[in-house]
Every structure is written in structure tokens, then in C-alpha cells.
Amino acid sequence: MLRSLTSAISGLQNFQQQMDVIGNNIANVNTPGFKSARTDFADSFSQTLRNSSAASADGSGSAAMQVGTGVSTSSIKNLYTQGSLIGTTVGTDLAIDGQGFFVVRDPLSNEVFVTRAGAFDRDSENYLVTSGGQRVQGLNFDHSSEPAVSTYGDIRIDMSGAPPEVAGSLQAFSINADGQIRVTNNEAGRFVRAQILLQSFSDPQGLVKRGNNLFSGMSAAGPLGGATNPTAEAPGTHGLGRIISGSLESANVDLSQEFTNMILAQRAFQANARVITTSDDMLQELVNLKR
């Protein structure tokens, strides 16, 4: 009976959804590589009571008369701004300073994901993996013959593919800004074992959050190399950022902004609830007219 009721109800629903987004942002304030989200609103369909008309020699024009029907959520956008880099001194902790994502593969399902969370480690088979066991992707080098041969796949940090003059067991390794992994044997012989590659997207809003700091939906996001043949590239090329070893990227959640948005959403929710109460009072007055 009253359009204000349906408009206010849409307000309650959509501001509750905004609070859900804000709550998730705040909950992940300490999640490495987390990307916060933002709720965007749009007005709903407006009922036209009178169309507009242009002025003529016989009279002036008239403006359109329309009554809106509420609000809707037009989008929930992920914000891919850079988070702060925090030093950890752990050699397998990696952060990207600039654009790009790490590419990882689930060895069980063979599904490929991207992530900004670089809290990696070496597993029992010397693969560089995420906390969930997904293997970091890049180039592995075989120096056993000249010229060296590179193959794309799961990164391993070991002495495989060492040049003939470099033998022995793995003593240490380091990862430079270009993603190159240099290993050192017990006799101080060194060689480049692998190189971590990064991926970037022309429309990162096409990515889908899958939990555990992972994103899927790469083909819809416009990856380097195209949707049919995405090609990861070396850090520092194709607009990609550099890799910072011994650091992690913190969440890009701005707590001051989130608390401000929370207050605005709360007040808007209260205002819409008041509209419902007032509309109910008006209906009650209408019902009481017959008494």
C-alpha cells in the first residue's frame, strides 16, 4: 500500500549486506595478502507517474514525475591496492612490491589459483608450497648440459639440475627481486635452480575468492597471455612488481575507513527502520478512520 515500506525494506536488506562486507574486512585485518571489499549501491526501478515533455510555442514543458522503489547492491568490489610490507626474516616468506600475483597449483585437483599471500615453505619433497599445500609455479633450470634447459611447473628447491662442477648437498638458498632462486652446496658452489613467475590481470574484478587467500576465475580477469593461454612472466617485466624475500604483504584493510563505513551503515539502517515504523503508524491511522 505504501511504497515507503518496500523502499525501506530494501534499505534494511542492502545495508545489512554492507555490514556483512565490513565485518569480513575487519575480521581479516591480520590476514596476509587479504584484499578488502567495498559495497556499491544503485537506486532501484522508478515508477513513472508522468513523462516529461518538451516546451513548445503553445506552452512550457513539464518535468517527469517518478517515485523510486528503493535501493539495490550494484556490486561488491575487491580492492587490489598494495598492502604494507612487513619483514619476517624467513627466507621463504615472499611479498610482491607492485602489481602481480603468485601462481600456485593444487597437486591433487591440478587446479590453478593465484594469491598475494606469500607465506610459503618447503615441503618434504622440497617443493615451494603454500600453507594449504599448493605448489608455487615458475621455471626450473637444468644445468647438467649446455645450454641450460628451463621447464615450467612446480618450483623445487634442491640440487637437481646442478652443473657438473657443482655437487654435494644443499646448504642454503636465496630468492632475489627477480624471483631467481639461487642454491648453494656444502662447498660454496652456487647456481640458479629456479625462478618464480608472476601473473597479472587487466580486470582483477573477474577473480573469485576461494578461501585460504586463493583466487580463481583467471580466464575472466584478462591474464597475461590471454584467457586461452595465460602466461606468467618474470617479476619486474610486463608491469609486474618485484619480489621481496623475507617479507609478507599485510591486508590492505583501512580500519579507520571501515569503522566510518560501519557508523554510516548503522545510521542508514536505523533511518530505514524508522521509515518502516512511521509507515506502519500511517497505516494504523488509516485503519482507525472507520471507528
Task: Give burial (CB, 10 Å; 0-12/13-18/19+) of 81.
Answer: exposed
Rounded distance between C-alpha atoms, residue 171 and residue 218, angstroms: 37
pTM, entire model: 0.88
What is the SS3 string spanning 133-145?
CCEEEEEEEECCC
Rounded distance between C-alpha atoms, residue 178 and residue 243, angstroms: 6
**Cα-based distances in Å from 139 to 35, 47, 58, 74:** 27, 59, 78, 41
Share of the chain above pLDDT 90, in %: 76
Query: Would you say residue 1 has pLDDT above 60?
Result: no
pLDDT at residue number 168: 84
The average pLDDT across 205-222 equals 95
Q: Which residues, at least 6 apart from 26, have a Cβ–Cβ distance to it below 8 Å? A: 253, 255, 258
Query: Would you say residue 202 has pLDDT above 90?
Result: yes
Give the SS3 label for residue 130: coil
> pLDDT tens-digit profile of 87-98?
999 999 999 999
> pLDDT tens-digit profile of 117-163?
999 999 999 999 999 999 999 999 999 888 889 999 999 999 999 99
pLDDT at residue number 65: 83
